[in-house]
A and B are shown apart, each in its own frame.
Chain A
């Protein structure tokens, strides 16, 4: 029992789980779950009490019992006690002060990452302001590689997302070429297919691989289908670079996605055997998002931000090339408006980075959320300052398959120019070689002489 008294009003919280939920900055998903603080003062009371909780307690007082959940078991069984020993004497509030210290560099944070559990980073994030989340995350660099190197200081990558409502290969090729001409595609060229059909998925993998080889692009491709579909595609000899899967922070939520940790391990093993990476072997790509566990009724009464951080513990076990939170995709019943979306995006980026993940963010919203493109500009700029590894690049920010708005190829150019960032080095070299980018990192459109695009006939033949 955690109790305190403020101006004669007493507050009590029966468990660490309840304390975490009540200490969470306001969001509609926790209200929907009936676990949010009932007043502003109750929220701060919970934050005050949470700040006094020793980090050590999170290793003993598990929010979801070890016996009931394989994510809990993964967190405990892989915990690095030696790394944790540097901070084991701190409370949550002292941990915040420690993170903000000038002497705690990115190298220090990288060394302790294995000692942190998702619950520890979720807890401290709840008592951090936006500028804290930005500053601390910006200290940490997480570098991963496959055919290029992502996450180096001074870089920001973009996933080229050329979705099409009917998976039409010509339409997807058209959007891909457009994105390449604007310098997007270093994180990966990744399609969300309209169907999980194995034949269709294999056809798309081939289209992307042909395109990559034709123009000798140092990047990786991905069709974001269920892990079992990708495994079948690998068995049938399809050119699979990255294995994609949506993941969540509880065993039950992952079960609702039709996955287990063992399944992810097996898929990773298969992808590693293909040895398709040239400069690195990070072969996994994960997507997450606050609220997914509640929507699967698999949250165990844990607040949505903490469950999200637990998904990062799943992700880090498989050494992914890319992880991104699709922060505003889930809708207003989980993140009601731009204020909630912006804070959630920065929390997710912070928690992921602290746990050692190559975090990207799908800066996005749906049309039934209280948000617009101005809000995305705000979040994008904050994430740029926070050192986010990558964002999405979508034609005009409008995904015509998934029906939501994200960031455009132009948005990626804006944030790179504004903050003096470049694409991944191998990809930038290619952009310069084919004449899309100048030596001074300017955009040199159109560059068609050195990068001949397919004509109409060729594209019609694809369709």
Chain B
């Protein structure tokens, strides 16, 4: 019986300690060994599922209710997942009836909120399913801000900038958008937070601060909550966000 060439393992596998990159994975002939090929396929499958599988809203809403968190669901102008991927412009706009719904909410509030809290599954439903609630718990515990928060607004099939439209209608000073990030192969469950002062439709990205890679194996909820807390207080105090605020943070380091 002919045996296949032995899978060659690398003498430098001790280097793996220094990076999560797929190094020292050995070779079968000149190709990637079976185990590594399948490990890669699994990661890709998880990332694809994160993009394509819908958010389990029933489960998430039950959890929010159990925590006593008030929320409202609205839609972007996107009608299905394929359109979401092809038409980012539609994901940045609220559906007409959704805009009316938020306007009705605004009218019912005793005063305009300082901070509009918005979330969307974005490009990873798993990110929101996994991280939204645990993050909010930590954030609510550490946030000592004496400000008015809006109810949590879930924009289905939204892009980051759809939060601007929400903030505009609510008359909020700052919008916080929690969103599923584009899944990486090793991070299909990564949530991002975008904070924008004086957001309105047409606001551009350099006006935003981003806290990225929030997930169990990435940036911790506590770290992200601390950063958001700091950014919010500075943003409200100085009336800015984005590049200007970010530069100050670097200088502080």
By a beta-carbon cutoff of 8 Å, the part of chain A in contact with chain B is: 28, 31-32, 162-165, 168, 170-175, 177-178, 181-182, 197, 331-333, 336, 366-368, 372-373, 394-398, 400, 403-405, 408, 410, 413-414, 417, 443, 445-446, 448, 453, 456, 459, 463
Per the bound structure, the CA–CA distance linking A414 and B29 in Å amounts to 9
Q: Are B185 and A177 in contact (CB under 8 A)?
A: no
Per the bound structure, the CA–CA distance linking A168 and B17 in Å amounts to 12
The residue on A at minimum CB distance from B23 is A178
Residues of the B chain whose Cβ atoms lie less than 8 Å from the Cβ of A174: 15-19, 21, 23
| Other contacts beyond A182-B27, A395-B23, A398-B43: 18, CB < 8 A | A32-B88, A170-B18, A171-B19, A173-B18, A197-B250, A332-B86, A333-B86, A336-B85, A367-B185, A368-B123, A368-B182, A395-B25, A397-B40, A398-B22, A410-B30, A413-B31, A453-B15, A456-B14
Q: Knowing A367-B48, A397-B40 are in contact, say whether A417-B30 is a contact too (CB < 8 A).
A: yes
Residues of the B chain whose Cβ atoms lie less than 8 Å from the Cβ of A405: 44, 185
Per the bound structure, the CA–CA distance linking A400 and B185 in Å amounts to 8
Q: Are B51 and A368 in contact (CB under 8 A)?
A: yes
Contact with A along B116-153 (1 / 0, CB 8 A): 00000001000000000000000000000000000000
Residues of the B chain whose Cβ atoms lie less than 8 Å from the Cβ of A177: 12, 15
Q: Are A368 and B21 in contact (CB under 8 A)?
A: no
Per the bound structure, the CA–CA distance linking A163 and B50 in Å amounts to 24
Q: Are B22 and A413 in contact (CB under 8 A)?
A: no
Q: Are A373 and B44 in contact (CB under 8 A)?
A: yes
Among B22, B24, B30, B182, chain A packs the most CB atoms within 10 A around the CB of B30
Per the bound structure, the CA–CA distance linking A308 and B8 in Å amounts to 42
13 A-B residue contacts at CB 8 Å? Answer: A165-B213, A174-B19, A175-B21, A367-B183, A368-B182, A372-B44, A395-B21, A395-B22, A396-B25, A396-B36, A398-B185, A400-B19, A403-B184
By a beta-carbon cutoff of 8 Å, the part of chain B in contact with chain A is: 8, 10-12, 14-25, 27, 30-32, 36, 40-41, 43-44, 47-48, 50-51, 85-89, 123, 182-188, 213, 250
Per the bound structure, the CA–CA distance linking A335 and B183 in Å amounts to 18
**Shortest CB distance A31–B (Å):** 7
Per the bound structure, the CA–CA distance linking A28 and B89 in Å amounts to 13
Per the bound structure, the CA–CA distance linking A403 and B182 in Å amounts to 8
Q: Are B86 and A181 in contact (CB under 8 A)?
A: no
**Shortest CB distance A52–B (Å):** 33
Instruction: State the majority secondary structure of interface residues on A.
Output: mixed
The residue on A at minimum CB distance from B33 is A410
Q: Are B184 and A336 in contact (CB under 8 A)?
A: no
Per the bound structure, the CA–CA distance linking A171 and B15 in Å amounts to 8
Residues of the B chain whose Cβ atoms lie less than 8 Å from the Cβ of A175: 19, 21, 23
Per the bound structure, the CA–CA distance linking A333 and B78 in Å amounts to 14
Residues of the A chain whose Cβ atoms lie less than 8 Å from the Cβ of B17: 174, 456
Among B18, B51, B87, chain A packs the most CB atoms within 10 A around the CB of B18
The residue on B at minimum CB distance from A172 is B19
Per the bound structure, the CA–CA distance linking A257 and B18 in Å amounts to 33
Q: Are B8 and A445 in contact (CB under 8 A)?
A: yes
Residues of the B chain whose Cβ atoms lie less than 8 Å from the Cβ of A163: 21
Per the bound structure, the CA–CA distance linking A405 and B44 in Å amounts to 9
Per the bound structure, the CA–CA distance linking A373 and B27 in Å amounts to 17
Q: Knowing A367-B48, A372-B44, A405-B44 are in contact, say whether A400-B184 is a contact too (CB < 8 A).
A: yes
Q: Are B18 and A367 in contact (CB under 8 A)?
A: no
Which of A331, A372, A396, A456 is in CB contact (< 8 Å) with B22? A396
Q: Are A445 and B10 in contact (CB under 8 A)?
A: yes
Residues of the B chain whose Cβ atoms lie less than 8 Å from the Cβ of A168: 18-19
Per the bound structure, the CA–CA distance linking A174 and B20 in Å amounts to 10
Q: Are A32 and B19 in contact (CB under 8 A)?
A: no
Q: Are A32 and B25 in contact (CB under 8 A)?
A: no
Residues of the A chain whose Cβ atoms lie less than 8 Å from the Cβ of B182: 331, 366-368, 403
Per the bound structure, the CA–CA distance linking A333 and B12 in Å amounts to 41
Residues of the A chain whose Cβ atoms lie less than 8 Å from the Cβ of B48: 367
Per the bound structure, the CA–CA distance linking A163 and B21 in Å amounts to 8
**Shortest CB distance B40–A (Å):** 6
Residues of the B chain whose Cβ atoms lie less than 8 Å from the Cβ of A165: 20, 213
Residues of the A chain whose Cβ atoms lie less than 8 Å from the Cβ of B21: 162-164, 171, 174-175, 178, 394-396, 398, 400
Residues of the B chain whose Cβ atoms lie less than 8 Å from the Cβ of A408: 22, 32
